[in-house]
Amino acid sequence: ARTIAVSGSASGIGKALTGLLREQGDTVIGIDLRGADVCADLSVPEGRAGAVAETLEKAGGRLDAVVACAGVSDFTIMPVKVNFFGAVGLLEGLRPALAAAQAPRAAVVGSISGTHPVDDDVVRACLELDEPAAIAAATKVEESGFGGRLYPSSKSALAQWLRRVCTTPEWAGAGIPLNAIAPGVVKTPMSAPLFEDEGMLQIMKEAVPMPLNGFAEAEVIAEALRWLISPVNTHMTGQIIYVDGGAEATLRDASH
Ligand code: NAI
């Protein structure tokens, strides 16, 4: 059986993935704020360090896969801290344990929002892995009333980070595929408030058009993640795979 670390395991997509993996006999080390095997706050460096140390201890120093699902979508600086630095910190911290496995795999959950307008200063600081600068830039954005750009910024930075590192000796050279599933709108506790507000729902339908089968269930995203981290994926890396009911195909033309 494989041992797989999943962040955000207590809810939504991470919870669905944890269920699928356990059903197929894998050992899952769930990481979340609460209700997980490893309880930690991935928004801060100390929390990430604690999560990495405890996960390594539980895994015995070897991990077959890591999936970063934990995320937040409010209009504050939190998406930058959790969705970008939380995911990158966890993946980088656990990478040596992946390198020790036979068929290691890593994946993150991006978002169609990563294609929406971003704040360039925030994205740049993220890609420089300068968390204090990213937080300072994000605080400015939040205070000037453009907090809605911080979630897209966090997901765009995550996608760009992934494409930069996936081909390096540390990842490709160590035999570790690193990919993202980028959902459209998924029915989880995160998106639940949208469905209670007709106005918000209308705005979301325009920002994320999903002509194929509408809003997705968490299990649909979890199935795609399951394939990405399975041993059969020997050659796909650096990909941002949109599992979004056609949103990306609607919003972006294919000529670039
Ligand atoms: P969710 O809210 O159901 O689950 C997210 C989990 O992350 C929660 O259990 C939460 O406790 C955990 N988490 C949040 N902050 C944390 C922190 N500081 N430390 C540790 N754990 C923390 O949300 P959902 O929908 O399952 O989201 C999973 C991923 O999918 C996120 O990265 C989200 O951005 C992404 N996503 C979700 C979409 C949706 O429509 N629901 C669409 C596109 C992407």
The pLDDT of 82-86, averaged and rounded, is: 99
pLDDT of 229 reads: 98
Please tell me the distance from the alpha carbon of residue 175 to that of residue 67, in angstroms, as a whole number: 16
pLDDT of 4 reads: 99
Mean pLDDT taken over the chain: 97
- The confidence band for 153, taking pLDDT boundaries of 50, 70 and 90, is very high
Indicate whether this complex's ipTM tops 0.90: yes
Contacts for 188 with CB less than 8 Å, ≥ 6 apart: 11, 12, 13, 218
Q: What percentage of the chain has pLDDT greater than the value 90?
A: 97
> Which residue from 57, 5, 54 is spatially nearest to 30, judged by alpha carbons?
5
Q: For ligand 1, say whether the CB of 38 is within 6 Å of any of its atoms.
A: no
The pLDDT of 42-54, averaged and rounded, is: 98
- The confidence band for 141, taking pLDDT boundaries of 50, 70 and 90, is very high
Distance from Cα 255 to the centre of ligand 1, integer Å: 32
Q: For ligand 1, say whether the CB of 9 is within 6 Å of any of its atoms.
A: no
Q: Could you tell which of 6, 7, 9, 13 is best to mutate to test the pocket of ligand 1, judged by most ligand atoms within 8 Å of the CB? A: 13
Among 56-60, 72-76, 194-198, which stretch is predicted with the lowest mean pLDDT?
A: 194-198
pLDDT at 70 over 60: yes
Contacts for 22 with CB less than 8 Å, ≥ 6 apart: 28
pLDDT of 253 reads: 80
Q: For ligand 1, say whether the CB of 191 is within 6 Å of any of its atoms.
A: yes
- Domains assigned to the chain: 3-116+155-245 (3.40.50.720)
pLDDT of 254 reads: 72
What is the SS3 string spanning 121-161?
Answer: HHHHHHHCCCHHHHHHHHHHHHHCCCHHHHHHHHHHHHHHH
pLDDT of 37 reads: 98
Ligand 1, atom nearest to 221 Cα: 30
pLDDT of 146 reads: 97
pLDDT at 248 over 90: yes
Ligand 1, atom nearest to 113 Cα: 43
pLDDT of 256 reads: 56
Q: What percentage of the chain has pLDDT greater than the value 70?
A: 99
The pLDDT of 47-76, averaged and rounded, is: 98
Active site residues: 151
Q: For ligand 1, say whether the CB of 79 is within 6 Å of any of its atoms.
A: no
